[in-house]
Structure 1
Amino acid sequence: MCRWRAWWKGLPALLLLLAAAIYFARAPVEDDLAARSGTLLMQIGESWAHADFNGRDAVLEGEALSEEARVKVRRELARLSGVRSVDDQTTLLPERRPFTFTAIRDGAQLRLEGYVPSVWARERIADAAEKMAPGVVVTGVKDLVRARGVPAGDFVGVVIFGINQLARMPAGRITISDDAFSIEGRAPDFKTYDALEVTVRSELPADFKLARFAVLPPAVSPFVWQASREPDGVRLSGYIPLGDARRALLDMVRSAVPGAAISDQLRLADGSPPTDGWLKAVDFALEQLGRLPDGTVGLSDTTISIEGTAPDFAAYDAIAGARRSVPEGYTLTRFAVTPPAVNPFTWAVMRGSAGLRLTGFAPSEDAKRLVIDAVRAGFPGVPISDEMRIASGGPAAEAWVNATVFGVGQLAKLRSGQVKGKGNTLSVSGEAQDSASYTAIRGAFAGQLPKDFSIQSDVRPPVVSPYVFGMRRDTDGLTISGFYPSTQGHEALIAAAKSEMLGVPVNDVSALASGAPDGFEQATLAALHELARLSNGEARFDDAKLRFTGTALYAAAVDSIRANLEAALPKGFVLDLSLDVVLRHESTNNAACQKAIDDLLARGAIEFSPKGTAIAPVSRGLLDHIAVAASGCPDAVIGVSVQQTTTPDRAAARAQAVTDYLAQAGISPERLLTGTPSALAIQSQSEVAPAQAGLQVIVR
């Protein structure tokens, strides 16, 4: 039986029970659908989307990268078991063109800028940035903007690749613009630079291209570059500036050394001088290298060096001349180009009426300059013609300079002449300016000579005209003045003067000079012999004219002197003789006469011809003075004897010759006795030399 009133009363409780059952059964269903939809979205690669469930009805939210992605998500979610409906509330991300991303490192700071396609991509990039280097501080992660327009390929992978390259540099930047990858910065060393270049150019992720590799190599100092000629071409080493310098440099090498194989070992480096000026300096250096088959040229910052051996004088002259046209801002600090070798190595400095002329070879430019400076100092204002060429194969530069400067010093004392060199021999020849200069030159050659050189001299005394020479005898002695032609002959004349003048002072103020007439020394010696016979007088030569004046000791001596001079003077000489005679000598006693004669014999000796009996001309003066002394005692008998290691007959004949000479001098023959036994023996020299008689004159 139905009791509907009782049933109605239980209905609210039933409804409440039903509602509770429905509520508590819905939550597990929604949670299950949410979990399974999340897994699905991850599996299909659309993690940007998110589904919320109201029962079995899905509400789809998120920012899609494309309409295709929205469709895909709706379709796949609608197929998920248990899903009744899908309410698509997703939106499209804004599209960015170009799609850019930048990572900038400055020491321990890393800043990220730009766009990412998804939260997942942002998280991966942030994680890679945090692990880039110990202590790095990453900023900008939250500011990375999700956007559409990401290029095809592994965008996150290329970002992480770039961050890994930044880890090798203390500072730098990577930039991704669509599919173009760029990197810039400065490598800390060449090893890192090489590794970066290889990695970036060869390992960049697929679908991306390298737009710009602007990593700077390390800065070097000094910035050096070198080019060397080798048998098979030209080797380049050192550094080259950034930019297009390499291409320009290689073109210069091909122009300077046509056809040469180029070994390019240059490294890009920073720290070079301005590239335009650097290339001009390289071009200058390579132009010189083209002239040196075994040369080396180089730059170090703004200095240039050139080394090698010139194959000929044309090449050396061109290279040496180029030293005057070094590019502005650069300095040629090393010039070690060896000139061509010559054999024999000769040179000369010649002095003439038109000035000085330098010819031959010098061992170096510096050595040549030192010699030219010495020439200018020794010959101020004199024109100089420099025809010297630089060559090798000669003496060492220092020795060459010392020897040549020594020769130039002597050349300055010559009226005309030359300094000539050949190998390690130097000769000086010419005519001295004056006697003092000639003496100075002789002194220089007798002193310390340049090391490592043999020195030869052919310096002539000065030529004088008229050629004058004089010998004057007075109360003060004998004075010799004027010029003489040879040292040897003059020394013989001085020795004869000291002997024949019986010890009177001899004052020699004469000087060596050329220009004497033939037979001049013979004529002066003859004049000396006769001058010794005078009490005072002078023998003066003017070229070949002899003026002989003075006072003879006795009247007969005048004609004797004239005759002797006329006989002894060489052909071409002219005699002008004017002699007076000493007034009559006062009479003295015998003892005074003896003492005067003894004094004379103590100061001189009678000489005869070797192995003969003729009285030598050098003894005429002594005999004339003995005759004058003997005439002071007119009543005395004069005994003459000769003692000598010779035959008795020759000794007697020589004594007789003296007796005859005294008789001709005015001593009465009745007063003269020959061969008196007592004599003062003065031993003679050997028979080879002129015989020196042991003469004794006794006054009784």
Structure 2
Amino acid sequence: MPLPEEFAQGLRRAGWLAGLPALALIWAGATLFATPQIADALDAAGARVASGTATAAGEPWLRLEARGRDLAAEGEAPDVGERETVLAKLAALDGPRRIVSEIGLVETAAPFLWAAIRTGSARVALEGSRPAQIGRQALEARITGALAPGTALDDTARAARGAPPDFASAAAFLAARLSGLAKGGRAALSDTVLSLSGEALDVPAYEALRTALANPPAGFSVGRIEIVPPAVAQFRFSVAKSARGIVLDGFAPSAADREAALRAAAEAVPGGSVQDRLLTARGLDPAIDPKTLIGFAFRLAELIQSGTVTFADDSVSVTGDAIDAQAIPDAAALMREARPAGVKPGPVTLAARPLSPYRVAIRRTPEAVTLTGHLPDDATRERVLAALRPRLFREPVIDRTRLADGAPPDLGAALAAAAPLVANLAAGEVAVSDRALTLTGESLYREAASRTPERLAEVLPPGWTGRAAVTARQPAETRDPAACRAEAGAAIAGTSLRFPTGSATLGPAFYPVLDALAALAKACPTLRIAVSAPADPAKAKPAQGVGGTAGE
């Protein structure tokens, strides 16, 4: 039965549309089958051209990539002529629809910059310039060998001239440092200066970085280092003190804070040992100033013979043996009144024990006389001060002693006997440890220096041992009489040195002039200095001052 005319016309109109799906399937199959073959053919044809661009390093500078029927060319040609020659050879190939040129030229980089950046846990990007004389693959192999196994490289560095000698060693050194940095870590080179930035993965990695950067490759120096220390869950800091010295343990927020702690420890035990067990790490409450915390810890440490000052869980505590009974309330007062902001008070667990050894010292300098250490009572302190003050003209006496039990017998007598000897020195010190007294320093006069050991032995109480090591100051160089007269005149010029009526007491204005004349007299043995005053102040003219002449 024949189809109606309208229905037949509809089938004829839709017939070509019904064939489209079949055509699409045929086209897709042909594309999927043909494209890989086209790409393989392009790669093979391009490889022959690329192999002809091999450099002295043995690697072709031309790199090709098939992108469908297009051929992308990359690399750095030695010059414009060779680039044009290569592009012409590629254009002559049968198969590529078009040649996409991304070929640059080898230029001189000044400064020569290169960087490696950690972009993932197992991925590193290279950028900047690489030496033209080193093949890309050879340099990548050197860098990959310095990275953790399995690390992939994304290398966009371009060949350039101007690289420093032994660039590959420096690049490998920097790449190896990335293993200790988190994502975003950057290791860079600018000519011969190395730099590093990023966050350390953990405390051991941070310490390893510090150690490695202390020994850069030969011919290279370390420039800007911005390594953020790792964060720790429990930040702690401690100062342990004993007769052997100080041990620092725990963490410091930065390298500068660590150095500050080491300086404070060295000052706390002059000549003693300092063991540094500190590690650099973050985790201290931002409200707490690290240097203030360190200073406070050492103020507490001054009050203990042996023991530990500990900062942990945002609080400070101190335990051990106090330097004396007075130190226990002093430590409590410090904890109450001088604690840094943000720090909580911890326990003060101190015991007062007799000091052993018992130490006290008298130090003489041109500026002052200072007493340090311990004395048994106020009476002993006054006895020592009374022995010192009459022998000093203008130097102040600074008393920094504390009271404590455990003093050896006759300590006051020994110090009072040695006080005149140290006061007569130009500079020196009397140091007592139990019943042993040592006198060291420098005398202005050779004869006085040679007599000091004998005099010390004569004045010490029975049962005490003494040792004196006093040297004579070297005499000044002798000058000629004319120079002596000129300097003497300059020393007294413009001065008005007058004794009060009926008195021979020296006033403060006398000392600078007398010091200058005394120093001059050493270099001018023929200089005659006269001090005169009228016999009868009521009738005579105003008194003359200090004068000087020099003769043969």
TM-score (norm 1): 0.39
Report which structure shows greater RCO (CA 8 Å, sep ≥6): 2
Larger Rg: 1
